[in-house]
Structure 1
Amino acid sequence: MGVYKKLGWFFKQEKKAYITGISFLILVSILQLLPPRILGIVIDEIKQGSLTKIVLIKWLIILTVTALTQYLFRYIWRMNIWGTSAKLERILRKRLFDHFTEMDNSFFQKYRTGDLMAHATNDLNAIRNVAGGGILTFVDSIITGGITITAMMIVVDWRLTLIALIPLPLLGVASRVLGSKLHTRFRKAQAAFSHMNDKTQESISGMKVIKTFGQENEDVEDFKLKTAQVVSANRKVYKIDSLFDPVMTFIIGISYILTIIVGGHLVMTNAITIGDFVTFINYIAMLVWPMFAIGRLFNILERGSASYDRVEGLLQETSKIVENPDAIQTAIKGDIDYTVEKFCYPKSSAVVLQDIHFELKRGQTLGVVGKTGSGKTTMFKLLLREYDRYKGQIRYGNTDIRDYSLNALLQHIGYVPQDQFLFSTSIKENIRFADQELDQSAVEHAAKLTAVHEDIMEMEQGYDTLVGERGVSLSGGQKQRLSIARALIIKPELLILDDALSAVDAKTEEAILNALKHERSEQTTIIAAHRISSVLHADEIIVIEEGKIIERGTHLELLALNGWYKEMYDKQQLERTTEGGGD
C-alpha cells in the first residue's frame, strides 16, 4: 500500500472526485446484493406454492430498476475514478517533461533517450493504473467483499459464512509472497524494456550509418538479443502473475466445498431454506471477483510502485546549473570578458581548457580556429552555461553570466552547433521555431541572409516543404544554412557559429559572412571553424590547441607569426588552387 502513500498528494487534490466515485461504487456493490436475494425468495415461494403472477412481475420490475440504477451508478464511478486517474498521468507526464527541459548535459549523458521514453510511457501508464484500476480493485476487494460477507452473515447464516471464510487467510499469505516477487521482477522487466527502447531509437537514428557499413544483419541480431531479454524478463513477471488466478481459484474452490458440505447439512436440518442456500451460493460467486481483485490489486500496486520509484528517481535528479535566486532578468548586452583559468568536465581530472582569455567589444567578431578536439566547442558550452563549475569568470556587460537568469542569457544567444538538429515539420516552422508568430517576410529575410532562399523556392512546396526527421530530406549545407537562419530570426545579441559553415561551398560561405557582417554590425559574433576563410574578416582570431590559446591576432598579424595559423592557411589555399585547376 506504500504507493498510495506516495500518491497521497494527488488523492488529496482530487478527493472530491474519488469520494464520489467510491461512494457510487459502494452503492453498486449494495445493489448487487438484491438479485441473489430476490432469486432465493422466488425459489422459496415456488417451493411453498405461493408465487403468483403479480408477485413475479413485482420482482421482475425490481430487478429491472436495480439493473438500470447499477448502469447509471457504474457510469458515474467510472467517470470519476478512471477519468481522474488520467489526470494523474497528465500531471506526471508534464512534470517529467518539464524536468527534462531543466536538466543539464550530465543528466542526458547519464540517461539514454530510449530509457527516458520508457519512463514517460510504460511507467506512467503503470502509475495511472494505480489511481484507476488500483482504486477499483481496492474497493472491490475490501469494501465490496466486506459488504457481501456482511450480507451473507445477516441474510443467510453467520455459521455458514464463517465456515466459508476459513480459507481466506491463505489468500493474504499468497498475495504477500507473490506480490513481493512480482515487484522485483517487474522492475527488471521495465529496465529491459528501457534497454530495448534505447536500441530501437539508436538504430532508427543511425540507419544511414548502419546501411553504409553493411551492418544490417549484425544490428538485427543485436536487436533480437535485446528483444529476447525483454521477453525473458517479462516471462519471469508473468510466471508470478499467472500464479495469482490459480491460487484464488483454489481458495474459492475450498470455500465452495465447505459451503456445499455445511450448507447441505443446514438445509437438511431445516436451519436454512433452499432459497437461502441458493442466495448464499450466489453470494459466494459474488466473492469470486473481490478475491481475484486482491490478487490483481497486489499486481497493480507492485507494478505501480516499481514504476513510481523509477519516475521519482528521475525527478529527484538535480541540474548542476542553478539559477541565482536574485538572478538578473534584464537581457544580456555589452562587451564580453572571457577568463577561464581551468576547466575539467565533471568526474574527470583531465584539463580541457586552461588560461583562456579574450575580450570582445559589442559589435565585433571573434574567430576561433584549431584542430578537432582542441576545446573550441567546450569554450561555447561554458558561455552557454552548460557547465558552471570552472575556475575563472565569464562576464557579459561587466556582469558574471552566472548572475543572469538562464532566460536573460540563453534567449539572446543564437547558437548553431556542429551537429544541426531540425524538427520534423516544415522549413518555415523550423526557421521561426523561436517565435511562431513571425510572418513570412521575416522568415524569408533570414533565409536570404543565409543564402538558402533560392534553394527553398526550387522545392515543390517552398517554405511549406517538410524536412523529415532531423532534416533527412535536406543536404548538409541546406541544414546548416537553415540552422543559421533559425538562430538569426531572434536577432540575437550574441551569435555563435560552431563550425556551422563546413558543408557549404566557398562562394556561399563568403555570401553568408558578408550578409552577417552587414546585418550584425551592432551585435557580437563568434565563429569557430576549421576553414581559415570563415574567420578572415574577424576583428580578432585566436588559435586553440589542447585547450590553450597558442596564437592570437588579426589575420595579417597571425600570418606574420609564421605559426600554426599560417601553416593551415597556406595548406588550405593550396587545396583550393588544386581543386580549382583540377580539370
Structure 2
Amino acid sequence: MDVLRQLQGFYREKKSYLYLSIFCLATATALGLVYPNLLRYLIDDIIKLRRYDQVPMLVIGLFVVTILKACMQFLHGFFGGRLGNFLAYRLRNACYEKLQFLSFRYYDTAKTGDLMSRLTGDLEAIRNFIGFGFAQLLNVFLMVIFGSIVMFSLNWQLTLVTLISIPFLVYVALRFESRIHPAFQEMRLALSSLTTAVQENITGVRTIKSFAREAHEVDKFSLRNERYRTNQIFASSLWSRYFPVMELLASVCIVILLGFGGTLVIQGSMTLGELVAFFTLIWYIIGPMWGLGFHINNYTQSKASTERILEILNQPVDIKDEHTAKPMHEIKGHVMFDHVTFAYGNKLAAVVDINLNAPPGSVIGLLGGTGSGKSTIIQLLMRAYNVNEGRITLDGTDIRDIRIEDLRAQIASVFQETFLFSSTIKNNIAYGMEEVTMEEIIRAATLAKAHEFIMELPKGYDTIVGERGLGLSGGQKQRLAIARALLKNPKILILDDATSAVDMETEHEIQSGFQEVMRGRTTFIIAHRISSLRHADEILVLEEGRVIQRGKHEQLIQTAGPYQDIYQVQYADHISRQQEIDDPDQPEEWNREMPQPGSGEQVRYHE
C-alpha cells in the first residue's frame, strides 16, 4: 500500500506493533469461524441425535472461544492504537520542524488555514488508518479467505454457486474507490479553503468591523462553504449509487444459497446443520464486502491526507547551511553588499546592483517608497533569501559560508508589523534569550519607553497579552518589540520603521535611548520619517530597487533630489511657519527653533 510504504520511515521503530495488531485481528477472525462449526455440530450431532448431555460442554467451549476472541480484539486495539498514536506524534513533530526551517519563499504563498488543516484533520485521518484501518482492510480479505476455505470443506459445489456474484461485488467496490479518491482530494482542498477563511476572518476581525464588511465576509464564507457542501454531496451521491449495487449483489448470494442449498438438503446431499453453517459463513464473507466501501473510504482519505502531509515534508529547503558553513560566535559587525542583485521568483528584480559598506558601529539609513527594496535589503542580510548575483559579507566572510543560526543570533530586528505571542509581557520581551534576569528585562523595557505603561497594567510584566497582541495599542506593541530586540544585545540591529506606530514625542524619547543602544553596534534603520535617519552615518535613497542617492543628512538636504523633496514635504508646515517668524510684524510668542537644511537640529517647539 502506498500509504504504508511512504510513511514507513515514521513507524519503522514500532513496526512490530503493526504485525502484532494484524496477528491478533487475524486470530480473532479465525476464532470467529468456530461459531458456524459449533452450530453445525449442535444441529447434526446433538439435536438430531438427541445427545443433550453434550450441551454443557458445547456452552463451555463457546464461552472459552468468546473470551479468547475478546482478548485478541483487545490486543488488536491496543497495539493498533499505540502504532497510530506513535506515527501521528512523529509526523506532527516532523511537519512542525520542517515548517520551522522552510524559507520565507515558501511562506510567501502558503496559507495558514491550509497548514492548520493538514496538521490536524489530515494527520488524524492517517492515524486512524495506520492504527486501525489497514488491519481492518486486511481483515476483510482474511475473512473472505478463511470463510471460503471452510465453505469449500463443507460443500464445494454450493460454495462455487453461492460466491458467483462476489467477483462483481469486488469490481464495484474497486470502481467505487477509483471514483471516491479524487472526490476526497477535492473535499480536503475545499475544507482547507474553508479553514483559511475562518482563520483570516478571526485574525482580521477588527479590520472587518471597522469597514463594516461583515456581510461581505459572510458571503465569502458562504461561497467556500457551498463548495465544501457541493463536494460532500458529490461524495454522498457516489455512495448512494454504488452501495445499493453492492447490497444487491450481496443479496443475490443469499438467494442462491437458500435456493440451491435448500434443494441439496431436500435431496440429502448435505445436512441441515451444514446449511445453517453455510448461511452463517456467507454472512461472514458478505459482511466484509458490504464494509469494503467504508474501509476503502478510510484508505482513500488517508491516501489523500498522506499526499498533503508529504507535500510539506518533501518541500525543498532552499535556505540552509552549506557543507562548508562554519560557526561564527564573535563578530565585529562589518557588513558589506558587493554588487547585490535579487528578484522574487520570476518577478522583476527587487534590488539591483546594491553596494554598501557598513563598518562596525555605523548607522545606515534606508529611505524610499513602497516597493523600493528597503525591506528586501534587510531580508537578504538576514539570509531570508539567497542573492541572485553578488555577495553579502560579514566581517569579510560571505554570509552563505556562515551557519544560519550563528548569523541570525547576531542580529536583532524590530519589524514594522509587530508580532507578539499569547503569553506574558515578560516572556514576550525575553523571547529569543535562554537566560535573562528580571532586571535586564526592565532595563530593556525602560530604554524602549515601555516600562511606564507596563506597570500601569493589572499584573505588570505578568500581564498576558491577547492573541497577536490584541488588547495593546500599536505603539505599545511596537515598544515591546523594541525592548525584545534591545534585550538580545546584538552586534547588528535592524529597525524596520520601528517607531512608525508611536507619536513624535515618544519617538524622540525612544531614539534618545537608541543612541546609547546603537553605540558599538552596526545599525540599519528603515524609516519614512527623516527625523529617524538624520543621525545616520550614511543614508541610501532607493527607488525601484536601485540606489539613486546616498550620503549624510546634511549633504542630501543641500542636494537637489528625492531626499530634499521628501524633507521639504515632511517639514513644509514648519518651513512655512519659519517664514512667518521672519516677518517682523508677527507676535513674539511665535518665536521658535526650526530645522534648517544642514543645521543638524531636532525639531523643537517653544510656544
Cα distance change on mapping 1:535 and 1:254 into 2, 3 Å: same
2:196 partner letter: D
Deviation per CA, 1:48-102: give whole Å up to 9, x if none: 22112xx322222222222222222111111112320222222222222222222
Q: TM-score, normalising length from structure 1?
A: 0.93
Does the 8 Å CA contact 1:266/1:272 hold for their aligned counterparts? Answer: yes
Aligned pairs for 1:255-274 within 5 A: 255-274=253-272
Q: Which residue in the other structure is 1:26 paired with?
A: 26
Does the 8 Å CA contact 1:340/1:390 hold for their aligned counterparts? Answer: no
* Cα drift, residue 11 of structure 1: 5.9
1:117 partner letter: M
1:201 partner letter: Q
Does the 8 Å CA contact 2:339/2:389 hold for their aligned counterparts? Answer: yes
Q: Which residue in the other structure is 1:185 paired with?
A: 183
Between the aligned partners of 2:11 and 2:337, the Cα distance in structure 1 is 51
Cα distance change on mapping 1:568 and 1:332 into 2, 3 Å: farther
* Cα drift, residue 8 of structure 1: 4.3
The reply on whether 1:106 has 2:122 as its aligned counterpart is: no
Q: What do you get for the CA RMSD once the two structures are aligned? A: 2.4
The reply on whether 1:291 has 2:289 as its aligned counterpart is: yes
Q: Which SS does the other structure have where 2:245 is aligned?
A: helix
Does the 8 Å CA contact 1:449/1:485 hold for their aligned counterparts? Answer: yes
Q: Which SS does the other structure have where 2:557 is aligned?
A: helix
Pairing partner for 2:355 from 357, 361, 371: 357
Does the 8 Å CA contact 2:143/2:284 hold for their aligned counterparts? Answer: no
Does the 8 Å CA contact 1:332/1:396 hold for their aligned counterparts? Answer: no
Does the 8 Å CA contact 1:160/1:262 hold for their aligned counterparts? Answer: yes
Does the 8 Å CA contact 1:186/1:306 hold for their aligned counterparts? Answer: yes
Between the aligned partners of 1:246 and 1:133, the Cα distance in structure 2 is 26
* Cα drift, residue 169 of structure 1: 0.4
Q: Which SS does the other structure have where 2:52 is aligned?
A: coil
Q: Which SS does the other structure have where 2:338 is aligned?
A: strand
Between the aligned partners of 2:454 and 2:251, the Cα distance in structure 1 is 74
Aligned pairs for 1:66-81 within 5 A: 66-81=65-80
Q: Which residue in the other structure is 2:307 paired with?
A: 309
Q: Which residue in the other structure is 2:444 paired with?
A: 446
Q: TM-score, normalising length from structure 2?
A: 0.90
Q: Which residue in the other structure is 1:48 paired with?
A: 49
Aligned pairs for 1:139-158 within 5 A: 139-154=138-153, 156-158=154-156
The reply on whether 1:7 has 2:7 as its aligned counterpart is: yes
Unaligned runs of 5+ in 2: 578-602
Between the aligned partners of 1:19 and 1:319, the Cα distance in structure 2 is 35
1:294 partner letter: L
Q: Which residue in the other structure is 1:237 paired with?
A: 235
2:107 partner letter: F
**Identity across the alignment (%):** 33
Does the 8 Å CA contact 1:543/1:565 hold for their aligned counterparts? Answer: yes
Farther-moved stretch of structure 1 (422-431 vs 282-291) = 282-291
Does the 8 Å CA contact 1:539/1:554 hold for their aligned counterparts? Answer: yes
* Cα drift, residue 14 of structure 1: 3.0
Cα distance change on mapping 1:413 and 1:581 into 2, 3 Å: closer
Aligned pairs for 1:412-427 within 5 A: 412-427=410-425
Between the aligned partners of 1:487 and 1:428, the Cα distance in structure 2 is 13
* Cα drift, residue 199 of structure 1: 1.7
* Cα drift, residue 556 of structure 1: 2.6
Between the aligned partners of 1:297 and 1:491, the Cα distance in structure 2 is 58
Between the aligned partners of 2:256 and 2:308, the Cα distance in structure 1 is 45
Between the aligned partners of 1:200 and 1:399, the Cα distance in structure 2 is 46
2:78 partner letter: M
The reply on whether 1:166 has 2:167 as its aligned counterpart is: no
Between the aligned partners of 2:560 and 2:109, the Cα distance in structure 1 is 44
Q: Which residue in the other structure is 2:274 paired with?
A: 276
Between the aligned partners of 1:127 and 1:159, the Cα distance in structure 2 is 42
2:48 partner letter: K
Between the aligned partners of 1:159 and 1:360, the Cα distance in structure 2 is 92
Q: Which residue in the other structure is 1:509 paired with?
A: 507
1:172 partner letter: V
1:32 partner letter: G
1:48 partner letter: L
Does the 8 Å CA contact 2:338/2:392 hold for their aligned counterparts? Answer: yes
2:269 partner letter: A
Q: Which residue in the other structure is 1:336 paired with?
A: 335
Q: Which residue in the other structure is 2:91 paired with?
A: 92
Q: Which SS does the other structure have where 2:367 is aligned?
A: strand
Between the aligned partners of 2:263 and 2:287, the Cα distance in structure 1 is 27
1:538 partner letter: A
Q: Which SS does the other structure have where 2:558 is aligned?
A: helix
Q: Which residue in the other structure is 1:478 paired with?
A: 476
Q: Which residue in the other structure is 1:435 paired with?
A: 433
Does the 8 Å CA contact 2:10/2:90 hold for their aligned counterparts? Answer: no
Between the aligned partners of 1:8 and 1:400, the Cα distance in structure 2 is 40
Q: Which SS does the other structure have where 2:256 is aligned?
A: helix
Between the aligned partners of 2:271 and 2:530, the Cα distance in structure 1 is 102
* Cα drift, residue 331 of structure 1: 3.0
Between the aligned partners of 2:120 and 2:330, the Cα distance in structure 1 is 39
Does the 8 Å CA contact 1:137/1:290 hold for their aligned counterparts? Answer: no
* Cα drift, residue 174 of structure 1: 0.6
Does the 8 Å CA contact 1:341/1:353 hold for their aligned counterparts? Answer: yes
1:18 partner letter: L
1:472 partner letter: L
* Cα drift, residue 408 of structure 1: 1.3
* Cα drift, residue 456 of structure 1: 0.9
Does the 8 Å CA contact 2:493/2:518 hold for their aligned counterparts? Answer: no
Unaligned runs of 5+ in 1: none
* Cα drift, residue 377 of structure 1: 0.8
Farther-moved stretch of structure 1 (447-456 vs 84-93) = 84-93
Does the 8 Å CA contact 1:138/1:294 hold for their aligned counterparts? Answer: yes
Deviation per CA, 1:286-341: give whole Å up to 9, x if none: 22332134322322222222222233233333233243111022236221112334
Does the 8 Å CA contact 2:11/2:86 hold for their aligned counterparts? Answer: no
Does the 8 Å CA contact 2:103/2:317 hold for their aligned counterparts? Answer: yes
Between the aligned partners of 2:298 and 2:605, the Cα distance in structure 1 is 73
Between the aligned partners of 2:55 and 2:558, the Cα distance in structure 1 is 113
Q: What is the total number of aligned residue pairs between the two structures?
A: 579
Does the 8 Å CA contact 2:11/2:87 hold for their aligned counterparts? Answer: no
Between the aligned partners of 1:389 and 1:170, the Cα distance in structure 2 is 61
Q: Which residue in the other structure is 2:582 paired with?
A: none
Cα distance change on mapping 1:158 and 1:12 into 2, 3 Å: farther
Q: Which residue in the other structure is 2:459 paired with?
A: 461
Q: Which SS does the other structure have where 1:271 is aligned?
A: coil
Deviation per CA, 1:364-422: give whole Å up to 9, x if none: 22222223332211111111112213322211100111111111111221111111111
Does the 8 Å CA contact 2:320/2:404 hold for their aligned counterparts? Answer: no
Between the aligned partners of 1:35 and 1:58, the Cα distance in structure 2 is 14
